[in-house]
A and B are shown apart, each in its own frame.
Chain A
């Protein structure tokens, strides 16, 4: 380090010094880093238990230096429920992708939210099944080409993409539901604040906290990492708007999908 300079940003100590297996530019890595930064700042490394899913982020336990458990496909919410009930004083989070949380694990997710289980969901929504080769997911956008929808997603056959953050914000047990993105440095900083807020609300025992992250998949979308971040902004944001859908601490309760259905 040069003389006269101070350190202002470095890799968090809670992130293990291993090379992550994610593709270049994948926002899974960014979210791992952010969660671990918050854990480091709050000094809760020994009090945090995570649940990793099946999907690209199945090896999250190899990178995060906190206690982790790996759940069966889609059952991370059920496992996190059990862990939180056994250890109510610990900070518990489940880290899930869209195939895990919004497809095979929809029932577990919705019922855990409805019961108001006091843990945090980190939901990474990249609109595609990344690990298995870019198949169509429940969150794939209308007209988006994937390996199982080569002519684009047809809503007449398979329905509209699921808006999970709006959906769970309708449930009484949910204390905080927000959709964020990590596609610009500014959004990454906002994401970190939201993660910290979710952990603090968990400490107060307010209910389920649900954070959805509009994420990217450069390999599945077949574009460069920089282009994929622009794609989030242009293509995903209109259908998956960023913002807070429910927050019991400030009294915010809004849902864009409910407005649509009412019409």
Chain B
């Protein structure tokens, strides 16, 4: 089954605060501990795209507006 939603996270816009990871209800986001952006920060990424439900909690809580959220059309 395809995911209900998906998110795009701006790598350079992310400051790695982890609020989106904490507030994701299905825990499909994570900080990329293997890589950093040009500011030396571990950025958030969509770890398990199949789980995303497109609730937009991550986008709403993201202080730096680095997350764009899409939801599947009915």
- Interface residues of chain A, those whose CB is within 8 Å of chain B, are 1-2, 4-12, 15, 19-20, 22-30, 33, 184-185, 188-189, 218, 224-226, 229
Contact = CB atoms under 8 A, between A and B. Distances in A.
B13 A225 contact: no
Contacts of A5: 5-6, 70-73
A8 B19 contact: no
B57 A24 contact: no
B18 A27 contact: no
Contacts of B17: 24-25, 218, 225-226
A27 B6 contact: no
A28 B64 CA distance: 10
Interface in B27-72: 41, 54, 56-57, 59-72
Given A225-B17, A225-B19, A8 B56 contact: yes
Given A2-B70, A8-B69, 18 more contacts: A1-B70, A6-B70, A6-B71, A7-B70, A8-B54, A9-B60, A11-B66, A11-B68, A19-B12, A20-B63, A22-B63, A24-B41, A29-B64, A33-B64, A218-B17, A225-B18, A226-B17, A229-B19
A9 B59 contact: yes
B37 to A, nearest CB: 11
State the 4 A-B residue pairs at the shortest beta-carbon distance, nearest first.
A25-B17, A29-B63, A24-B15, A9-B59
28 contacts: A4-B72, A4-B73, A5-B5, A5-B6, A5-B70, A6-B70, A6-B72, A7-B69, A10-B59, A12-B65, A15-B65, A20-B63, A24-B15, A25-B17, A25-B18, A29-B63, A29-B65, A30-B61, A30-B63, A184-B23, A184-B61, A185-B61, A188-B60, A225-B17, A225-B18, A226-B17, A226-B18, A226-B22
